[in-house]
Chain A
């Protein structure tokens, strides 16, 4: 168990809908990262937050947004969903925002029908 909790584990929704993925980092970790894993794109970095502030941005679509709350949990919001958004979404956390080990949650599997 990595100590990173992601909910829900599975999400099935329809095109055009909006969903929210939730992540609770390990106790004491200030940094949260979101990644998307799909068959065609592999593992892609989406966005990083550190202590409530956005730190780095990757290949995140404008339809996607994220935030980190004062209690350090994070949410990834996906809107106007398309079939191609179907993927595994991982959250990871680390102690600091630097270049160190990241601990991954079990992921949320999103299926857009």
Chain B
């Protein structure tokens, strides 16, 4: 079953604008990761944030994590048409028995218009 919810389900913006996607999850986590998927293709890892971190940056990406609210957000600044894709958050649970299993959210479909 899906760990969390992502919102919005779909986001449509113009090039140059910022895109913000949110993710909520249900259990205690070890880390939270964001992945991108271009239409029907494999997932590409974007960024990982550990449960003891609150914010992380990578290029045009900024991720925040609020473990008290069990939520995360992904901000893509100065978006480009090439950013058009589905974005998924994925968590690895705290505790020793889940190993590296990723539990994915439902994803946000981002469309960036030139």
Q: Which residues of A contact B (CB under 8 A)?
A: 2, 4, 31, 33, 35, 42-45, 48, 50, 55-56, 58-59, 88, 90, 92, 94, 96-107, 109
Contacts and interface: CB of A to CB of B under 8 A. Distances in A.
B2 interface: yes
Interface stretch (B19-27, B40-48, B72-80): B40-48
Nearest to A45: B101
B106 A98 contact: no
Given A4-B42, A56-B99, 17 more contacts: A35-B102, A44-B1, A44-B104, A45-B102, A48-B100, A56-B100, A88-B40, A92-B102, A94-B100, A99-B31, A101-B45, A101-B48, A102-B100, A102-B102, A104-B42, A106-B41, A107-B40
Nearest to B43: A104
B25 to A, nearest CB: 14
Contacts of B97: 56
Contacts of B100: 31, 33, 48, 55-56, 94, 96-100, 102
B68 interface: no
Interface residues of B, number: 26
Contacts of A55: 99-100
A55 B101 CA distance: 9
Contact of A33 (B40, B45, B102): B102
B92 to A, nearest CB: 4
